[in-house]
Amino acid sequence: MTDKEKLFQERVNRFMTTADLQEPDRVPVLSLVDTYAIAYANSTVEECLENPEKEREIYGKIYKDIYFDGAMEFGFSRAMKVYDALGSSAYFISEDGVTLQHRENCPMLPEDYDEFIADYKKFTDNVFFKRKYPNLNKPYPENKEALKKAAYEAAHLGKKISDNVKYLQDMGIPLIAGKLSLAPLDIIFDFYRGFVGTTLDIRRVPEKIKEAAEILVDYSIGLATGGADKMDPFPWVMTPLHIPTYLGPEKFGKFYWPSYKKFLLAVHERGGKVFAALEGLWDNYYEYLQELPKGLMIATLERDDIFKAKKAIGNTITLSGGMPLDKLKLGTKQECIDYAKKLVDQCAPGGGYIFTTNLVLLSSGDANPENLKAVNEFVHEYGKY
Amino acid sequence: MADLQAIKKAVGELDEETVLSLLDNFVASNPTEEETQQVVTACQQGMAEVGELFEKEEYFVGDLIFAGDLLTSAIEKLKPALGSGASAKIGTMVLGTVEGDLHDIGKNIFKSMADAAGFEIYDLGIDVSPEVFIDKIKEVKPQIVGMSGVLTLAIDSMKKTVDAFKEAGIRDDIKIIIGGNPVTEEVCRMVGADAFTINAAEGVKISQGWVS
């Protein structure tokens, strides 16, 4: 075993023990670094997209300079070239050359629900994709060519992603999320009906949207399991949770939780764990989360008060987060370290705590790298059990 | 004559069916402009109740989006009977999502609530450059400028915009409120704004405080 391999295994164990709500050797330090890595290396997304090897070097720079036990993602993960082939401009790069932005493109209409509910696969393939992706409406053989090119680019992306994981592993750093899935209602929210549409449907066609979410449960499970009936406890299945913060507890309980909970339990039954990004503020939903089996979920918190969350759900769920990005951006090094100390002191006892930022790092100004370096080193040293 | 209390209550409860049927009946009764204006006011008072309930955490962002949609269709129904009579405004506001950022859900929620609170609103849309803000401010002389953004990039954009206001000599004529996911007290200080919020209802309250 090489030193890097040993280091890798040590870190995997650190995350696994923590997620079992037991005390590991040290508090794990997680990276939520996304395109910030490109800015850190003084590069651009364009440079990354030119060449996968160059991309790995660019993304790897921050991991050479700053201490991390693991990463949520590594490399530029959006399927830019797949979208291009289909004629969609769902994503574009901001003027800084680094920050990715997303344009909502959700062309399902409220009157489509019956067709969706009758056979969502058929509706998606034959009706919905044509609306969403202009190049699929071109005459034959242009539409076929577009689809072929998209499939080719998707295969390339798949290979790039697995090469990226390997590259990071060779640096001794595990990727904590293996597969990505979505909660059923988030699929409707992100892809089919959009922000305003989904919100209005919940009020105007409540039964239909509920049924549509139920129908998507198996699809969500399939994304996580790939059809297997056994899963490893590590790496985890990632689910970024989008709409809940806008719903409130009553609608969350009625429209979101039932189908998502089925998904969670399906992963649990197979031996897997779920890394859930609780986007927005979740303190109204803790009693739902308390229904889950112990140690099934690792939740990374955005707006929640992590100290309160620790008391409320810390016995059931592993908590990740706590370090405010605006402090890392504007605060002094000492202020940042003092705050990191408070986090370790209050959240780490008993295990079930992962140190990381409250938000994903996207743009160059998101954190002062000196501060990020300082808190990560501090927690790694101080967070010894 | 319309039952103003019932309209206000139905809007406050987000009971779309009742609101629309009350308004249909009202419009069918051939109302005067003045009566119609009273109904508009009742809808706006209902919207203010929605804001109150949002602050009490009985309503959430999704409900605000629905409320905005409901209010828009209510006003559409009343328009033919409104004539051209403009109602009194409590103040003027220029709004926009700052340069480089295309997100507008939050801005649109704030806009529909501020509109219902009686502000005259000039919405410049998304990706608004400092120059476009400045031209509009010089033209309509608002008391308040609202800047919105979701990305952390927006913070630098907000700062750049406020600096441009100083440069143009108009900073001291206006109150500036910033809103959106990345704003905090520290960000507000750095940007040089007068107030910040991530809560549309609170933002409207702050704005009302500035013009009362």
pLDDT in tens, A115-162: 999 999 999 999 999 999 999 999 999 999 999 999 999 999 999 999
At residue B86, the pLDDT reads: 63
Contact list, B187 vs chain A (CB under 8 Å):
326, 330
Mutate which of B17, B98, B152 to test chain A, going by most A C-beta atoms within 10 A?
A: B152
Q: Chain-wide mean pLDDT for chain B?
A: 94
Cα B42 from Cα B116, distance rounded (Å): 10
Q: What pLDDT shows up at residue B2? A: 76
Q: Distance from A244 to chain B by nearest Cα, in Å?
A: 10
- Residues B173-186 have a mean pLDDT of 94
pLDDT of B85 reads: 61
Q: How far is A114 from chain B (nearest CA, A)?
A: 22
The pLDDT tens digits of the residues spanning B39-52 come to 999 999 999 999 99
Q: What is the pLDDT of residue A95?
A: 87
By percentage, how much of chain A surpasses pLDDT 90? 95
For A318, the enclosing helix (H) or strand (E) is strand A318-323
Q: How far apart are CA B31 and CA B82, in angstroms?
A: 9
| Residues of chain A with C-beta less than 8 angstroms from the C-beta of B69 | 196, 200
pLDDT at res. B81: 87
Q: Which two tokens stand for residue B126?
A: 């998304």
Contacts of residue B43, defined as CB under 8 A and 6 or more positions apart, other chains included, come to: B7, B8, B11, B19, B71, B74, B75, B78, B116
pLDDT (0 to 100) of residue B152: 85
A362 → chain B, closest CA residue: B152
Closest residue on chain A to B150 (Cα) = A101
Residue B1 pLDDT: 66
- The answer to whether B186 contacts A330, with C-beta atoms less than 8 Å apart, is yes
- pLDDT: which is higher, A218 or A78: A218
CB-CB contact of A231 with A267 (8 Å)? yes
Exposure on the CB side of residue A9, measured as CA atoms within 13 A: 6
Which of B60, B64, B186 should we substitute to test contact with A (largest number of A Cβ atoms within 10 Å)? B60
Chain A to chain B Cβ contacts (< 8 Å) = 67
Tokens representing A290 are: 């308390």
User: In chain B, which residues have their Cβ closer than 8 Å to the Cβ of A99?
Assistant: 151, 153
Rounded to an integer, the average pLDDT of B64-79 is 93
Name the band, by pLDDT with cuts 50, 70 and 90, for residue A77: confident
The verdict on a CB contact (< 8 Å) between B62 and A246 is: yes
Residues of B in contact with A202 (CB under 8 A): 62
**Cis omega before residue A141 (within 30°)?**
yes
Quick check: A245 and B190 CB within 8 A? no
Q: Which residue of B has its CA nearest to A204?
A: B16
Give the pLDDT of residue A61.
98
The Cα of A332 is separated from the nearest Cα of chain B by a number of Å equal to: 12
Q: Using the beta-carbon criterion (under 8 Å), do B102 and A325 form an inter-chain contact?
A: no
A41 falls in which pLDDT band (50, 70, 90)? very high
Cross-chain residue pair A366–B59, CB shorter than 8 Å: no
Q: What is the pTM of this model?
A: 0.94
Q: Residue A2: pLDDT above 80?
A: yes
Q: Give the mean pLDDT of A243-256.
A: 97
For residue A94, the chain B residue with the least C-alpha distance is B100
**Mean pLDDT for the stretch of residues A163-169:** 96
Q: Does B149 or B153 have the greater pLDDT score?
A: B149
Q: How far is the CA of A272 from the CAs of A15, A173, A200, B187, in angstroms?
A: 14, 20, 35, 40
Q: How far is Cα A80 from Cα A96, in angstroms, rounded to an integer? A: 17
Contacts of A101 in chain B (CB under 8 A): 101-102, 151
Of B63, B153, B184, the CB nearest to A99: B153
The answer to whether residue B73 neighbours chain A at the CB level (below 8 Å) is no
Residue B7: CA count within 13 A, CB half-sphere: 26
What span, in angstroms and rounded, lies between the C-alpha atoms of B212 and B207?
9
DSSP secondary-structure letter at A193? S
Q: Which of chain A's residues have a Cβ under 8 Å away from the Cβ of B153?
A: 94, 96, 99, 363, 365
Q: Does residue A325 sit at the B interface (CB-CB below 8 Å)?
A: yes
Cβ pair A280, A240 in contact under 8 A: no
Which pLDDT score is estimated for B108?
Answer: 94
Is a pLDDT exceeding 80 seen at residue A179?
A: yes
pLDDT (average), residues A155-181: 95
Report CA B109 to chain centroid distance, whole Å.
Answer: 7
Evaluate whether A167 touches A78 at the Cβ level (below 8 Å): no
Report chain B residues whose CB lies below 8 A from the CB of A327: 186
Does the CA dihedral A217-A223-A226-A231 come out positive or negative? negative
Q: For residue B56, what are the contacts with CB-CB under 8 A and spacing of at least 6?
A: none
Q: Measure in Å the smallest separation between the Cα of A193 and chain B Cα atoms.
A: 14
